[in-house]
Amino acid sequence: MTGPVVLVHGLFQMLGDPGAKDYFPTGRLLIPDLPGYGRHPGASPVSLSAAAGHVRTEMIAAGFDSAHLVGHSVGEAVAVLLAHRYPEMVRSVVDVEGNFTLKDAFWSRSIAEMGAAEAEALLESFRADPAAWLSRNGIEPTPERIAMASRGLSAQPAGTVQAMARSVVEATESPVYLDNVRQILDRGTPFHLVAGERSRDCWDVPGFVAARAASMTIQPGVGHLMMLENAAEFFGIIAGLVSGI
């Protein structure tokens, strides 16, 4: 039987689509809102470290002794911190185009360097026209995708996005971060890589991670926001990777 699965969202909450529940057994899926997001808009502090602790607390509350961690983008950095600190709670890590280095965190760096008013204006422009936001990301803005994007873009205030962006930049510019990844691999924790066909070439996966990863799956015809472009195929891939583990 597949162990519990935890979906850890990125800078925007794009992993909360209800359709995810169709691919995992009832009671075996957790999609937490990280501090500052969704049900926790006023939480403090907002950081990768706080998020890792929060996910662990939510896992314990859900009765998960251990689980497969699926981290998308910034969410992968949260998953890495949790897996490094609490290895006994992690069955596997599924890294969905996660931030390994500052090259991956280029957009986070841009957001981190903005003033508060500028960041607020940028996020508001995304919310005002999610169809245009999708188009700029190379995604055809169908009604279903627009609805999903609108939910994801509205799940956090600009201050949360900036705080998480700054935390990602701080983490990935330190050599300690990749040392943590190396220790997770050394422990034998299965570490899967998932990328979109259009965005794979832009993903800065360190050589030692690529060489030792349990698998690398390329989802065809999609980019970084693959769960918006083809949710059914994306969650099917995730379910296949954790099946029976």
> Is residue 17 a contact partner of residue 148, using CB atoms and an 8 Å limit?
yes
pLDDT in tens, 15-59: 766 678 888 877 789 999 999 998 887 778 999 999 999 999 999
In whole angstroms, what separates CA 179 from the centre of its chain?
Answer: 20
224 lies in some domain: yes
154 lies in some domain: no
| pLDDT number for residue 27 | 77
DSSP at 171? H
Q: How far apart are CA 200 and CA 210, in angstroms?
A: 12
Neighbours of 212 (CB within 10 A): 14
Q: How far is CA 75 from CA 6, 32, 52, 168, 216, in A?
A: 11, 11, 9, 10, 18
Split into its structural domains, the chain has a count of 1
33 lies in some domain: yes
Band (218; pLDDT cuts 50, 70, 90): very high
Residues 6+ apart with CB under 8 A from 111: 11, 119, 122, 161, 162, 165
Which range scores top for mean pLDDT: 20-24, 212-216, 238-242? 212-216
Q: How far apart are CA 95 and CA 73, in angstroms?
A: 8
68 lies in some domain: yes
The domain that contains 23 carries what CATH number?
A: 3.40.50.1820
Q: How far apart are CA 92 and CA 95, in angstroms?
A: 10
144 lies in some domain: no
Q: How far apart are CA 171 and CA 137, in angstroms?
A: 25
Residues 6+ apart with CB under 8 A from 71: 8, 10, 77, 78, 79, 80, 93, 94, 95, 96, 98
127 lies in some domain: no
130 lies in some domain: no
| pLDDT number for residue 185 | 98
| pLDDT number for residue 245 | 63
pLDDT in tens, 163-198: 999 999 999 999 999 999 999 999 999 999 999 999
pLDDT in tens, 59-99: 999 999 999 999 999 999 999 999 999 999 999 999 999 99
The torsion angle over the Cα atoms of residues 135, 137, 139 and 141, rounded to 10 degrees, is -40
pLDDT in tens, 127-156: 999 999 999 999 999 999 999 899 999 989
Domain holding 195, by residue range, is 5-106+172-242
Is 244 a residue whose pLDDT tops 90? no
100 lies in some domain: yes
Residue that has been written with the tokens 């009671």 in this structure: 27
